[in-house]
Homo-oligomer: A and B are copies of this chain.
């Protein structure tokens, strides 16, 4: 008996039900391998460097929605908010990697790090050339402490996947694509705010609640609570604070060019994301920073959180040109 407001059949079949619908909706673009579970391009491109990413489900359209021409070759979905297994990563990578090797794009969470590292070792031992890049853009968990998990991987993942996907498509070598990924990661920072926590499939409990006159700062994409709770302010002031903190972390200065992503966490209307983007554009303009490319939409989610994140990547000519290259995936196409 269901008693939660979700369009699901039940928690047990949730991930498979979602992937089944996704694969049916995009049958021209992707193929879903049910067991072990992974999503690959319908039209393989075995001569180029393969881009493989993955992580817990619940962040849709990340990562499966970015499989296709000019972006990912394979996506490996774990259960909700749970790393995929090494077996899944190995099978997906073997399905798409040719002689040019594969880059594994990993978000900075302990489970993902362990499982992708193990997969990489086994792939390497079996003759598949792999390199890995860890995305760690989320300022909210930045610390000075050695041995801390450090910044979480969030929406900058899509910037890495778009830019490196284009480079791979152009014929870059594995080392070139990996170095580029490292460069994009180093130049990217994100920060997220939310009015609500996340509610797991089939669960009636939300990870946290926020009073109507407050907003949670520094939330994560697994329904993690923020680092602070602030009185609710107009989005102009919220975005100004997000922008100031990200700009500070990136040492942004007048004359710099950035790629900006305003990203919904799952339940935020597109209109409000555009509104936030307008404010971001104003902030950057006043700082003399050139908003070279912008992307607004719901791309890296935390199930049904009513929040948003801002990501800035300091861009150069190469990054901008790769960003502009054609892409044809379920969630991103131009």
Q: Which residue from B17, B274, B328 sits with its C-beta under 8 Å from A25?
A: B274
**A146 contacts the other chain (CB 8 A):** no
Give A1-25 as 1s and 0s: 1 = Cβ < 8 Å from B's Cβ atoms. Answer: 1111111111000100111111011
A60 CB-CB contact with B under 8 Å: yes
Q: Count identical subunits in the complex.
A: 2
Report how far A60 CA is from B196 CA in the complex, Å.
Answer: 22
Contacts of A275 in B (CB 8 A): 7-9, 14, 17-18, 21
Within 8 A of B (CB), among A264-322: 266-279, 281, 291, 294-296, 298, 301, 303-304, 306, 308
Cα distance A10–B272 when bound, in Å?
A: 11
CB contact under 8 A between A232 and B272, given known A21-B279, A277-B24, A333-B334: no
**Which of B4, B269, B294 contacts A301 (CB under 8 A)?**
B269
- The B-contacting residues of A in range 45-63, CB under 8 angstroms, are 57-58, 60-61
Closest B residue, CB atoms, query A213: B3
Let me know if A116 is at the binding interface, CB within 8 A: no
Question: What total of chain A residues lie within 8 Å of the partner, measured CB to CB?
Answer: 65
A308 touches B212 (CB 8 A): no
Tell me whether A306 and B21 are in contact in the complex, defined as CB-CB below 8 angstroms, given that A60-B270, A270-B61, A270-B301 are known contacts: no
A75 to chain B, nearest CB (A): 13
Q: Are B5 and A212 in contact (CB under 8 A)?
A: yes
Asked whether, in the complex, the Cβ of A9 is within 8 Å of the Cβ of B236, the reply is yes
B212 touches A304 (CB 8 A): no
Interface residue A233 (Cβ < 8 Å from any Cβ of B): yes
Task: Indicate whether A145 reaches chain B with its CB closer than 8 angstroms.
Answer: no
A234 close to B (CB within 8 Å): yes
Q: Which residues of B contact A277 (CB under 8 A)?
A: 21, 24-25
A195, CB-defined interface residue at 8 Å: yes
> Contacts A60-B269, A333-B334; is A195 near B17 (CB within 8 Å)?
no
Query: Is A238's beta carbon under 8 Å from chain B?
Result: yes
- A294: chain B residues at CB < 8 Å are 24-25
Within 8 A of B (CB), among A228-262: 232-236, 238
Does A207 touch B at the CB level, under 8 Å? no
Contact B296 A21 (CB under 8 A): yes
A267 / chain B contacts, CB cutoff of 8 Å: 267-269, 304, 306
Residue A204 interfacial (CB < 8 Å)? yes
State whether the Cβ of A114 lies closer than 8 Å to any Cβ in chain B: no
- Considering residues A24, A204, A270, A275, which has the most beta carbons from chain B within 10 angstroms of its beta carbon? A275
Bound together, the chains give a CA A22 to CA B279 distance in angstroms of 11
Q: Would you give 22 A-B contacts (Cβ < 8 Å), ordered by A?
A: A1-B213, A2-B232, A2-B234, A4-B212, A5-B195, A5-B215, A7-B235, A7-B272, A7-B273, A9-B235, A17-B278, A18-B274, A18-B275, A18-B278, A19-B274, A21-B275, A21-B276, A21-B277, A60-B269, A267-B267, A267-B269, A271-B303
